[in-house]
Amino acid sequence: MQKIKTALLSYGMSGKVFHAPFIDAHPGLELIGAWERSKKNIQQDYPNAKSYASLEELLADDIDLVIVNTPSVTHFEYAKQALLANKNVVVEKPLTARVSEGIELKKLAEQQHKILCPYQNRRWNSDFLTVKKIIDEDWLGEILEMEIRYDRYTPQFSPKKHKETGELGTGILYDLGSHLIDQALQLFGRPISLFADLTKQRPGSVIDDYFEILLFYKNLRVRLKSGFFIRETIPGYMVFGRNGTFLKNKADVQEDDLIAGKKPTAANWGIEPESEQGLLHTEKDGKIIRAKVPTEKGDYMGYYEALYQSLVYGKPLAVKPDESIEVINVIEKAFESNRLKKVIEF
């Protein structure tokens, strides 16, 4: 099996939790090392990995794939340098802070004949996969309304100072909104227009820490919401169709298991507890149904397996640059809507 030599641009939480375990577990990927600026931790977990002192040192090495998992304000600069060094590149969400930067990276990747693959791992969440299956299998009839939430109760400022700077690319809309927008676009495509409300709820905050976006489609309304003051669990997905309703908590277990040190090769990986099954209340074939629905298996390895297939066999990317550029387009229009207090057309 062809090995893809892979390096991370940081080994903090995202490198340690979301990337290294899957690179290490995939038989076609080889974790060569990570750029570590101050703390040198990667060799504690992966003794054969290198700790690079600089980006230049990393890019000069025999690396096939670079994972840009640094703060969002650096994505454009680092991805561009990696592409110019003839590396294939994965970039965490948001791909860039501006649509124009995303387009520039896409064109550069094409010129270099390299892969540029945004990292939208939440498409492989058990909760989202279950909601998508309910919609795809037409259990609710025509979908008229949907709400997707990403709630937390974290009134304190993040210990990760780069998240609280107020620079373009920071804030809850770029951070958590990138996931919700991507999922909405995957389900329903580009909306006709949108209206957005963003604000700062934490005293002294310089970033948006609450948002509500209403996406308008022809016969459908999709509401995206996130905030830091939601102490009680609310369904993360509420889907309303002509025939019925589906309610599902955001309950994917992968992130918690990864933080706890569990490996993606573990038995029952990505399996939610039965207590988190979604509720389906609908009518189909003349029969009223009100029942819990078994949850699909989540597996972020699906992202890396699809990426490997693209790198080695030329298969289409599972996450395309255009899709993440469209996410940024929605974000830019949301900021415009909030500033002008009006509906913005696409």
Cα gap 130→232, rounded to integer Å: 22
pLDDT at position 109: 98
pTM above 0.85, yes or no: yes
Homologous superfamily assigned to 4-119: NAD(P)-binding Rossmann-like Domain (3.40.50.720)
Q: Are 142 and 242 in contact (CB under 8 A)?
A: yes
Cα gap 85→283, rounded to integer Å: 56
Cα gap 195→218, rounded to integer Å: 15
Q: Select 122-298+329-345's CATH number: 3.30.70.890, 3.40.50.970, 3.30.360.10, 3.40.50.920.
A: 3.30.360.10
Look at the block and give the residue holding tokens 């999709």.
222
DSSP E strands, 217-295: 221-227, 237-241, 245-248, 278-284, 287-293
Q: Are 307 and 319 in contact (CB under 8 A)?
A: no
pLDDT at 274 over 90: yes
Cα gap 205→239, rounded to integer Å: 32
Q: Give me the chain's average pLDDT, please.
A: 96
Cα gap 23→230, rounded to integer Å: 34
| Residue-level length of the chain | 346
pLDDT at position 99: 98
Q: Which of 86, 168, 123 is nearest to 324 (CA)?
A: 123
pLDDT at 160 over 90: no
Q: Are 73 and 97 in contact (CB under 8 A)?
A: yes
Amino acid at 243: N
pLDDT per residue over 276-329, tens digit each? 999 999 999 999 999 999 999 999 999 999 999 999 999 999 999 999 999 999
Domain ranges of the chain: 4-119, 122-298+329-345
